[in-house]
Amino acid sequence: MEININGMLCDVSCNEDIPALENWHPRLAYLFLSLKNPHFTKELIIWFIEVCQTHFERGIICIVDEPYYHNLAADFEMEQVPPEHVDKLKKYAHQKQSMVQKCLNTIGSLNVQLAPWFLLSLYTPQWMKDEIRSAFELKGLFYNQVLHQVSISRRVSFESEKLEHYAEFVLSELPVLSHAFYALPQGVVDFYPGEDSSQFYDTVKSGLFANELPKITKFIQSSKPLIYANVLGVRREGDLITR
C-alpha cells in the first residue's frame, strides 16, 4: 500500500493488516543505512529524522558496515583482506556516519540516535547467531534460500564456489536484524529505499524453516509483526521524483 509520509511516497507492507499512520507512534522506527545503496542521501536522512519527530517516540539510524567485510573476504578469496581495502571500507563508513551526525546536529533531534552495528550485534542473543549458523550448515531449505538470495543480490552463479563465502554477509546480518525487528513488544517500522527485505521474515513466520530454525521461528511468530516501508520518492506538485 502506497502512503505519502511527510512528502515522501512509501510502499508499505506488513503480513497483517497495516495500521493507520497515526497508530505507528509507539513503534520504534529503524533506518539501516547500507553502504552500497546510493539512495541514502542527506535528504533522505533528514526526512527520516523529521518523520520520527512527527510520528514516532523514537528512531534509530544504524550504518551497516561490519557485514561488508565478509564480502571483501569473498572478493579476495582470503580470510585476511588487504589492509588498504579494509581502510577504504572504514573510511567510507566513517563518511556516512559523519553525514548522519551532521544531519542530527542540524535538526537538533532528541528522539533519533545513531547506533553502531557492532552494538546491535552485541545485544543480539548468541542463541540466534548459533541457530542461524547451524541451520545453514545443515544444507537444507534454509541453506538453499540463503544461497538463492545471495546469487541474486551478488549476481553470482548458483553453482559458484564463492557463493558460500558471500553468504557470510547474510549469516552475520540475519540474527542482528531478526532481533532488532522482533524483540520489542511495541513493534518496529523499518524504513529502507529498496525492495522488501521483510519477505524472508514472512517466510520464517509461515513455519517453512521450523525444523531448521525452531527457536527463531517461534520468536518471530510470537512477536508483533514488522511494518516495512520501502521509500520510493518525493511528491512535489503531484509529480513523483524517484529515488
* Residue 240, number of CB atoms within 10 A of its CB: 11
Q: CB within 8 A of 239, min separation 6: which ones?
A: none
Report yes or no: 8 and 225 within 8 Å, Cβ to Cβ.
Answer: no
Evaluate if residue 39 carries a pLDDT over 70: yes
* H-run or E-run covering 235: strand 227-236
Question: How wide is the angle at C-alpha 91 spanned by C-alphas 116 and 72, nearest 5°?
Answer: 85
Q: What confidence category does residue 240 fall into, taking pLDDT thresholds of 50, 70 and 90?
A: very low
Each residue's pLDDT tens digit, 185-238: 999 999 999 876 678 888 999 999 999 999 999 999 999 999 999 998 754 434
- Average pLDDT over the chain, rounded to whole? 89
Residue 86: is its pLDDT beyond 90? no
Lowest mean pLDDT among 134-148, 154-168, 181-195: 154-168
pTM for the model = 0.90
- Residue 29 to residue 190: CA distance in whole angstroms: 6
- Percent of the chain clearing pLDDT 70 (strictly above): 91
Residue 243 reports pLDDT greater than 70: no
Name the grid cell of 168. Answer: 557470510
Q: Nearest Cα to 18, choosing from 225, 197, 186, 196?
A: 225
Q: Can you list the domains of the chain with their CATH numbers?
A: 2-242 (3.40.50.11710)
Share of the chain above pLDDT 90, in %: 67
Which of the residue ranges 20-24, 108-112, 126-130 has the most confident prediction, judged by mean pLDDT?
126-130
Phi, psi of 37 (to 5 degrees): -95, 115
> pLDDT tens across 101-116, in order?
999 999 888 899 999 9
For residue 150, pLDDT beyond 90 = no
Confidence of residue 239 (pLDDT cuts 50, 70, 90): very low
